[in-house]
């Protein structure tokens, strides 16, 4: 469908000149992509795209004067087919004999599922949320983000106490009570998951415990023990998440060969731990187990740890853990394992050939696979790809217009904050609102020590895609705050569009980089340029200053180096 884009209500302005046209015919735009810039004597205003699609025609030129209602461009919208389906008048319920009926059914109670359910209920819908675990919260709260961060905090306390002996305060060896540590971590998880149950009750969201399988495009069967219920629905949101991927040659029934879920239970601390996979899970768990006393080896198949981040951002982590761990091997894979009662003999293939090493425990952290294939989606007509991912458009609709999908099950990045944002969009669109998932950037954080964080375009990606960029860097060795934390290895890097000086990406490494990256994400969303960032007064002495200093370094106005 072609839509004319007109100047929206821009307040008290008339006959305002167009000073810049930011797109050309043929440009693909997202909802809210800036299209043109107007300048009055009072302000400069960007006109955003009201929807996603392709610009087919531009009806104004630079210098033309426009007012509210002036036609400026024509847009071919992306969702012509689905746009004709009215979410407010969904297809009639095809399961009249169901035990329960939902206006909106949500499958999966993780960050994607509970957020979708709560938002849909807040918008006035009768919502049923089906989760097969006994508690809400999904992987993130039960066996992911939260327990790992609790254990990482414990690791940080141990490591900082140990390292401060070099600066005049020694605490001695830590006495680790694993049972008490588990109890504290489980308490943190329990508080959050029971909090979710309370929030569901307050919103009148019906929570059904059991495994949901689609049986028709308007009904699921939910099994729990021997009990089976049918739930009919007008619309559904699939938030079935993901589970750990494994390697085909790893035995399934040896308790010493574990995934992230078992690692988070910290049932014991092995003498020698092998971590297969130098991604975020592998390195976060390595941080925990090393602090608890294990000798850690990490093998990573590619030539860099955390392959999604830039090499210079990962380098300080690599340097630090290479000194602390038994071994960190890149370009290296495990090819076979031979467990016996003395240990797990592992054949490792690296640049120097194959070798055998023996470990007490092996953690497999080679990625996660989506749960799309296990929910009977084909009975509802929902397409699943060969990996188990469900394809969606930016309104989070699947190929079946009254069924939406969000979170890990729709693809990378598999992050909780991506799931929650997509969930709100799915609920809003299902409730008949005009919404789309179109963030300019999604931040990623590895809560290792030092932390690694990045958002938007990385240098590696810019080079691969031929994106022109300029760069501002600030080494934390020149940050008073970093030095007062006894940690000087950090780095803040910002990438800018060389034409507009707008920020397009950022990477940070150092303590608390995961907190600092949010400012870069906001700057990208707001279209901030280097001057905006440099002129924003940052408190001193903080690590946050390094963000402003990196922008000043790009502009050539930095005086702190
Ligand atoms: P999930 O959280 O996987 O939830 C899906 C839910 O659906 C599950 O509870 C599952 O039981 C349920 N389900 C599946 N199929 C059915 C069915 N047929 N019927 C009923 N219920 C069903 N992300 C971050 O952003 N930050 C972090 O720090 C972070 N740390 C992590 C640490 C670890 C160790 C792991 C494993 C992951 C971590 N993640 C982190 C990733 C994060 O947990 C996921 O991205 C997030 O949980 C995805 O949310 P989701 O709602 O899509 O799916
Ligand atoms: P990942 O894809 O991030 O990392 C897996 C690593 O294993 C990669 O570096 C890969 O090259 C390597 N690998 C794969 N096969 C290998 C083999 N045979 N031998 C050696 N190395 C091999 O996956 P992950 O670390 O398991 O994490 C899964 C998902 O969970 C990620 O998408 C991540 O975003 C999410 N997660 C996020 C956080 C966080 O936000 N802090 C924490 C944990 C997990």
CA of 414 relative to ligand 2 center, distance in Å: 10
Nearest atom (ligand 2) to Cα of 305: 9
CA distances from 438 to 358, 368, 422, 526 (A): 48, 24, 9, 13
The pLDDT value recorded for residue 83 is 34
Q: H-helix or E-strand containing 372?
A: none
Alpha carbons 379 and 205: distance in angstroms, whole number: 25
Instruction: State the angle between helix axes of 111-122 and 416-430 in degrees (0 to 180), rounded to the nearest 10.
Output: 30
Those residues whose C-beta lies under 8 Å from the C-beta of residue 296, and which sit 6 or more positions away, are 273, 275, 286, 289, 290, 325, 326
Those residues whose C-beta lies under 8 Å from the C-beta of residue 197, and which sit 6 or more positions away, are 135, 136, 207
3-state secondary structure of 367: coil
CB-based contact 237:116 (threshold 8 Å): yes
Tokens of 192: 């959050």
The pLDDT value recorded for residue 81 is 32
Tokens of 67: 């007012």
Q: Taking the CB of residue 395, how many other CB atoms lie within 10 A of it?
A: 25
Mean pLDDT by 10 residues, the chain (561 residues): 80 80 78 75 72 83 88 75 36 73 98 98 98 98 98 98 97 97 98 98 98 98 96 98 97 97 98 98 98 98 98 98 98 97 97 98 98 96 96 98 98 98 98 98 98 98 98 98 98 98 98 98 98 98 98 97 90
Q: Which residues are catalytic?
A: 540
Q: H-helix or E-strand containing 159?
A: helix 145-163
The pLDDT value recorded for residue 90 is 46
How many angstroms separate the most distant Cα atoms in the chain?
83
Look at residues 510, 218, 263 and name the one whose alpha carbon lies nearest to residue 362: 263
Residue nearest to atom 43 of ligand 1 (CA): 140
User: Is it true that the peptide bond before 530 is cis, omega within 30 degrees of 0?
Assistant: no
Question: For ligand 2, is residue 234 a contact (CB within 6 Å)?
Answer: no
CA dihedral 362→368→373→375, nearest 10 degrees, is 90
The string over 170-196, giving b where at least 16 C-beta atoms fall within 10 Å of a residue's C-beta and e elsewhere, is eeeeeeeeeeeebeebeebbeebbeeb
pTM of structure = 0.86
What is the dihedral sign for C-alpha 305, 310, 316, 317?
Answer: negative
Question: For ligand 1, is residue 132 a contact (CB within 6 Å)?
Answer: yes
Question: For ligand 1, is residue 461 a contact (CB within 6 Å)?
Answer: no
Q: Taking the CB of residue 15, how many other CB atoms lie within 10 A of it?
A: 10
Look at residues 105, 109, 107, 96 and name the one whose alpha carbon lies nearest to residue 126: 105
Alpha carbons 131 and 113: distance in angstroms, whole number: 9
């Amino acid at each position: 469908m072609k839509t004319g884009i007109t100047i929206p209500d821009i307040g008290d302005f008339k006959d305002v000149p167009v000073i810049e046209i930011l797109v050309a015919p043929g440009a693909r735009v997202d909802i809210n992509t800036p299209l043109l810039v107007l300048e009055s004597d009072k302000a400069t205003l960007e006109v955003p795209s009201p929807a996603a699609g392709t610009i087919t025609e531009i009806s104004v030129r630079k210098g033309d004067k426009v007012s509210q209602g002036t036609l400026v461009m024509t847009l071919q919208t992306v969702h012509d087919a689905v746009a004709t389906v009215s979410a407010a008048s969904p297809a009639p319920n095809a399961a009249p004999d169901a035990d329960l009926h939902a206006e909106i059914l949500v499958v999966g109670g993780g960050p994607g599922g509970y957020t979708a359910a709560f938002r849909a209920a807040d918008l006035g819908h009768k919502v049923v949320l089906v989760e097969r675990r006994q508690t809400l919260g999904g992987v993130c709260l039960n066996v992911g983000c939260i327990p790992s961060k609790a254990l990482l905090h414990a690791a940080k306390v141990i490591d900082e106490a140990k390292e401060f002996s070099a600066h005049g305060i020694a605490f001695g060896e830590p006495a680790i009570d694993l049972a008490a540590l588990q109890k504290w971590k489980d308490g943190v998880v329990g508080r959050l998951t029971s909090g979710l149950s309370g929030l569901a009750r307050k919103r009148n969201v019906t929570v059904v415990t059991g495994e949901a399988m689609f049986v028709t495009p308007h009904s699921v069967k939910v099994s729990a023990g021997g009990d089976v219920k049918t739930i009919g629905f007008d619309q559904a949101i699939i938030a079935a998440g993901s589970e750990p991927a494994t390697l085909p040659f790893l035995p399934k029934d040896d308790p010493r060969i574990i995934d992230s879920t078992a690692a988070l239970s910290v049932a014991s601390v092995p003498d020698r731990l092998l971590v297969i996979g130098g991604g975020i899970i592998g390195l976060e768990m390595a941080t925990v187990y090393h602090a608890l006393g294990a000798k850690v080896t990490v093998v990573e198949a590619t030539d860099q740890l955390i392959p999604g981040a830039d090499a210079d951002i990962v380098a300080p982590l690599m340097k630090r853990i290479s000194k602390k761990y038994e071994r960190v091997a890149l370009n290296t894979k495990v090819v076979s394992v031979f467990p016996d009662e003395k240990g797990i003999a592992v054949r490792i293939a690296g640049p120097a050939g194959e070798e055998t090493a023996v470990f007490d425990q092996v953690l497999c952290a080679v990625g996660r696979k989506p749960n799309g294939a296990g929910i009977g989606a084909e009975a509802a007509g929902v397409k699943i790809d060969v990996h188990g991912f469900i394809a969606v458009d930016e309104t989070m609709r699947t190929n079946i217009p009254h069924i939406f999908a969000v979170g890990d099950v729709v693809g990378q990045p598999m992050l909780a904050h991506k799931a929650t944002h997509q969930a709100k969009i799915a609920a809003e669109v299902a409730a008949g609102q005009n919404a789309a998932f179109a963030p300019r950037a999604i931040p990623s954080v590895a809560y290792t020590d030092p932390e690694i964080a990045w958002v938007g375009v990385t240098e590696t990606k810019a080079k691969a895609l031929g994106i022109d960029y300029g760069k501002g860097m600030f080494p934390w060795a020149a940050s008073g705050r970093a030095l007062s934390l006894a940690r000087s290895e950090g780095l803040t890097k910002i990438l800018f569009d060389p034409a507009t000086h707008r920020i397009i990406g950022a990477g940070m490494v150092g303590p608390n980089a995961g907190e600092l990256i949010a400012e870069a994400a906001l700057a990208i969303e707001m279209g901030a340029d280097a001057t905006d960032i440099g002129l924003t007064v940052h408190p001193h002495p903080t690590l946050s200053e390094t963000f402003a200093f990196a922008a000043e370094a790009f502009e050539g106005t930095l005086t702190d180096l």
